[in-house]
A = this chain, B = another copy of it.
């Protein structure tokens, strides 16, 4: 296949590399082209497009993986945007995490141009992206999903067509929303045990084998052991997804009190200047209480 791929961040560069490895002809586009990760892909056989429109011109499928909805809109719209170059039968697969409502609007705009825009957000982190084992949740038509599937199998392992346009994004928000709350719960629980004098390792021996076990608990405990705050998933992006989930819930008139409270705790850390650190710095909120341990 002739493929285009826009957005060569931590996830995108690994996904593009796997597309190349699968033997496809791949053209890439990145807002800032003069970066080592772009050059590495060119060395591996990719070509580079100067504009999103040029990327779309020769491709059967265009993949997108950028930071947020504004970045997706910037690629799609405008005189050099993907939508202006889109022809009948072309597919756009958006792997970014954006609002379901925006995904539906972009799908309508693409359909007006004769193409199809499918939301196909991913989960599995940089390791899953490198290994080609991402979980991908797709929103769009059955036909579009069937045509997209061979492309998706180059970058992911668990690939699920969850429903019509926007529902891939909705499930992604649900995934990150549940994970965000579980992370906050793990932070409070581990802090309670630490405050009571139980060492982290003793607790984790039990909790890993008990009903508290979760991906978030394991992630948090690993970070607390290592003390590493370099972002695997940044606090800023975690909050972005919590806020998208809460806004989507508002549109659906769904009241989610725990999610609302947890979003505010992440926002507190953002206000303290920790947005670009790993989401696990949320636990600092609790550890800081230890500073006044003798005050009671």
Instruction: Give the B-binding residues of A (Cβ under 8 A).
Output: 100, 123-125, 135, 137, 157-158, 160-163, 166-167, 170-171, 173-182, 184-186, 188-193, 195-199, 202-203, 205-207, 209-217, 219, 245, 248-249, 252-259, 261-262, 265, 286, 289, 292-293, 295-296
With A162-B206, A254-B191 in contact, is A100–B179 under 8 Å at CB? no
A212's contact among B182, B257, B292, by CB below 8 Å, is which? B182
Asked if A160 and B215 sit within 8 Å, CB to CB, the answer is no
Prevailing SS type, chain A contact patch: helix
A214's contact among B205, B213, B262, by CB below 8 Å, is which? B213
Chain B proximity of A210: nearest CB distance (Å):
4
Q: How far is the CA of A206 from the CA of B296 in the complex (A)?
A: 46
Asked if A163 and B123 sit within 8 Å, CB to CB, the answer is no
Q: Which residues of B contact A175 (CB under 8 A)?
A: 189, 206-207, 210-212
Q: Which residues of B contact A286 (CB under 8 A)?
A: 254, 256
With A135-B210, A211-B123, A212-B179 in contact, is A265–B255 under 8 Å at CB? no
Question: What are the nearest 3 A-B pairs in CB distance?
Answer: A181-B185, A214-B214, A178-B189
Asked if A192 and B258 sit within 8 Å, CB to CB, the answer is no
Q: How far is the CA of A157 from the CA of B171 in the complex (A)?
A: 37
Q: Which residues of B contact A256 (CB under 8 A)?
A: 188, 191-192, 286
Asked if B158 and A170 sit within 8 Å, CB to CB, the answer is no
Q: How far is the CA of A185 from the CA of B257 in the complex (A)?
A: 10
Q: How far is the CA of A193 from the CA of B100 in the complex (A)?
A: 11
Q: Which residues of B contact A177 (CB under 8 A)?
A: 185, 188-189, 192, 212
20 contacts between A and B (CB under 8 A): A123-B206, A125-B211, A163-B199, A167-B197, A173-B192, A174-B190, A174-B203, A174-B212, A177-B185, A181-B189, A185-B258, A188-B259, A192-B256, A211-B216, A213-B215, A214-B215, A214-B217, A253-B293, A258-B261, A258-B262
Q: How far is the CA of A205 from the CA of B168 in the complex (A)?
A: 12
